[in-house]
Amino acid sequence: MSDFAGMEDLLQDFLVEAGDLLSGVDNKLVDLERSPDDRGLLNDIFRGFHTIKGGAGFLNASELVTLCHLTESLFDKLRNGELGVTPERMDVILAATGAVRDMFAELEHGTQPAPADAALLDSLRAAVSAEGAVAPSAAPAPAPAATTVSVPRQGEPDWDMLYTAVTGRTVVGEAPSTLAASSGPAVPAPRPGVPPEPPVTADPIVRAALGRRETDLPGGNGPTGRRESERQRDNSIRVDTARLDQVLNLSGEIGLTKNRLNALRSDILSGRNDSETLHALDIAVSQLDLLVSDLQNAVMKTRMQPIGRLFQKYPRIARDLARSLGKDVELQLLGEDTEIDKTMIEDLSDPIIHLIRNAVDHGIEDAAGRVAAGKPAKSVVRLEARQEGDHIVILVADDGRGMDAERLRAKALAKGLISDEEASTMDDRQSYNLIFLPGFSMAEKVSDVSGRGVGMDVVRTNIQKLNGTIEIRSQLGKGTTLVINLPLTLAILPVLLVRLGEQPFAVPLSMVREILPIDPAGIQDVGGKATMVVRGEVLPIAPLSTLLGWPRERVPQYGVLMQAAEWSFVLAIDSFAGREDAVIKSLDDFRPKGVAGVTTLSNGQIVLILDMKELLDGAGDRRGVSRAELLAAAQ
């Protein structure tokens, strides 16, 4: 049974608000390392811990109150100038934020948090007592508990007083549950009926950064590869009231238009079919069409969230990983106000973590190497988002060593991932895409961060599941940029309608480069497969009938030049049915291989939306046919 029976709504509100606060605190701590004398940052961080402590008090989460109060007391001395910001104190503070996040994880499971690590609490007490601070793993002998009381500034709520009023307990130095005799060390008091347990999980953000538990990444290096869908997800969404007002107003206008249409229907059924009535009907239908379109757009906007909420946790990841590798890295965030579908934000989290880890670990040189190359010792990784038309573009760029196409080909050849013939025909762009192959890694030895050859292939797979693409641009010695292109939303998908005979199918428009006529005279066999030349590029022809396992009844008349990951090909079809913005309906109970979902056309016909990657992977060597087979249907 949950420890928070009757307080579920309060708990959920606390976790959402406190989670945002803690992510903001993490970012400010990274900024504080660069500007240790910034009083504004010190005050903001103090207030963050103070607010989290107050909310924890209302939930009777005494162990969380204890940890936040000690950290808050340390920041009270830092902001008042009684202590200075040192690397050792920053390590302890960052360890405290990780412990706070651990406690949030326990709260999410409906249990009161277990006490924080005793070594961490001792280090915080030592820091508050101005006796210095060391890393929690090497904490000094326990110091007497401090009795510092934080005095709230004007305009700040007195959470200590509120905590006492609600719980009947006091906070002096730390919560009563962990107070011990003043002459001895503090010993956590057990909670009645709750067996002592270690924290459920370590800090997922730091762990993702350092690779300590890669099973938290979907398809990660760990043995189980736990996926995002198996973890608890935040299903709530914040919506600007102005957007809800717009939805309400449009709903009201649609209701009025519906009434007008009902009145016109009654007139027509009673025999009034003069030109004036028909004109009024035409106007009402046009107005309804416009209102429904506006309502659809307004509802879609309620799903849109600033991507900055996702970005704000990454500076801490880059900082912790760079520190563990002995590198000096600054993560720059750009375009944080860019809005994207909330469901996509959730699924982008782990892929971007992996890209940042790769940039810091593989892309960036160490300080000595950068100086030798004539670069500044501090490296810069840029995480940027922007909207381009109906797509979102996310960039992860570094100013590191860049990618050596020749070395990539040699490594893939040595691992048996490509053949000699493939290696000799690859250009630089295709060579860069080798890093997406399962099992490919440039690391010489396996470490906590990399080396197993698992990760980038999963990143690309997850991006493709969002109907997106990922592209690599690199310049040797200058740096590497990974470009992710995503649709604004997953609820509506622009598609191209193609036909086999009279049967229409939908393919994602994001994969379509252009539409071409297929001239039988221009089809040639290369390696036993039919190909055609498009502006000097030899491209294989993959008949849609072959991918679907249908018999070919005629010679394809048209080809759709498509880009699927690093592979370009011509999809051979019979004809086209146009372009539509498809509202996707998923097939949860029964989903045939190669089908992403279904949509309904304006004429009521149900059309399958094809998952081209799954079709191509399933076809394997049967993707293409010979020239003779392609033209055999003409006989």
What's the topology of domain 8-201? Four Helix Bundle (Hemerythrin (Met), subunit A) (1.20.120)
Give 493-516 pLDDT, tens digit per residue: 788 999 988 889 999 887 888 899
pLDDT band for position 403 (cuts 50, 70, 90):
very high
As a whole number of angstroms, the distance between CA 498 and CA 233 comes to 37
SS3 599: strand
Report CA torsion sign: 528, 534, 538, 544. negative
pLDDT surpassing 60 at residue 202: no
3-class SS string, 460-515? HHHHHHCCCEEEEEEECCCEEEEEEEEECCCCEEEEEEEEECCEEEEEEHHHEEEE
- Cα–Cα distances in Å, from 273 out to 21, 170, 265, 267, 283? 64, 80, 10, 8, 15
pLDDT surpassing 70 at residue 176: no
As a whole number of angstroms, the distance between CA 118 and CA 64 comes to 13
Average pLDDT for 427-450: 73
Strand partners, 471: 483
- Give the pLDDT of residue 157: 43
Pairing type for strands 567-573 and 469-475 reads: unpaired
Give 238-273 pLDDT, tens digit per residue: 788 888 999 999 999 999 999 999 999 999 999 888
- Give the pLDDT of residue 565: 56
pLDDT band for position 333 (cuts 50, 70, 90):
very high
Q: At residue 56, what are phi and psi to the nearest 5 degrees?
A: -65, -35
pLDDT band for position 162 (cuts 50, 70, 90):
very low
- Give the pLDDT of residue 255: 93
CATH architecture for residues 492-634: Beta Barrel (2.40)
Helices 456-465 + 342-358 axis angle, to 10: 160
Give 99-111 pLDDT, tens digit per residue: 998 999 899 888 8
**pTM recorded for the entire structure:** 0.63
- Give the pLDDT of residue 21: 86
Instruction: Tell which CATH classification among 3.30.43.10, 3.40.50.2300, 3.30.565.10, 3.30.1330.10 matches the domain 306-487.
Output: 3.30.565.10
Query: Where are the domains positioned within the chain?
Result: 8-201, 241-302, 306-487, 492-634
Give 603-615 pLDDT, tens digit per residue: 778 898 888 877 8
Contacts (Cβ under 8 Å, ≥6 apart) of 124: 67, 70, 71, 74, 92, 96, 133
Contacts (Cβ under 8 Å, ≥6 apart) of 58: 10, 14, 162, 163, 166
